[in-house]
Amino acid sequence: MNKPQSPILLDVPFLKLLGVKITKMSDGIGEVTLEIEDKHMNSWKVAHGGVLLTLVDAAMAISARASDPDDRSVVTIELKNSFMQAAQGNVRVEGKTVHQSSTMAFCEARVFDANEKLCCLATGTFKYFKNLPLRQKVIN
C-alpha cells in the first residue's frame, strides 16, 4: 500500500489565494492541482484561461526548481500555451523540465480536466537565479 505523500509547501501567496495544491516536486517534475470553484470560472462556467495559464506557469517553474541540484529560484522568461478544449471540473497539471543549462530551464506542461482529457499544452523558459538575502527596509 502506498503511503500518502505530505503536502509540498512553497510560499507563493497567489497560488495560496487560488487554492492551488502542489502534489509533486522531484526529479524535474512538478505537478499541481486545483479544485475549480465559481471564482475560477469565466462567463461560460469553465475554468478561466488566466487560471490555467497560472497553473502551467507554476507547474513548469516547480519542475525547473525540481531539476536544479542547488534548488535555485526561477523567474519566467517566456510562456506559450495552446488551449485545446475547455477545462471542466478539477484540473491536474503536469510540468516537466525537458532541457536545462547552467542558467536556464526549458519546460513543458499539460493540463488535464477531471476526465483526464488534455485541455492545454504549454512550453516555457525559466531563468535560474541565486536566492538573495532579504534586505531590511530603512525608514528615516
**Whole-number pLDDT of residue 101:** 96
Give the chain's length. Answer: 140
In order of 8, 118, 139, the CA distances from 55 in angstroms are: 15, 14, 37
Do 62 and 74 touch, CB atoms closer than 8 A? Answer: no
- In contact, 28 and 96? CB cutoff 8 Å: yes
What is the arithmetic mean of pLDDT over 63-84? 95
Can you read off the three cell numbers belonging to residue 8?
509540498
| pLDDT tens profile 23-53 | 999 999 999 999 999 999 999 999 999 999 9
Cell triple for 101: 543549462
Residues 62-75: what's their mean pLDDT?
Answer: 93
> How distant is the alpha carbon of residue 107 from its chain centre?
11
76-134 confidence digits (pLDDT tens): 999 999 999 999 899 999 999 999 999 999 999 999 999 999 999 999 999 999 875 54
**3-class DSSP assignment, residue 96:** strand
Give 9's pLDDT tier (boundaries 50, 70, 90).
low
Residue 139 has pLDDT above 90, yes or no: no
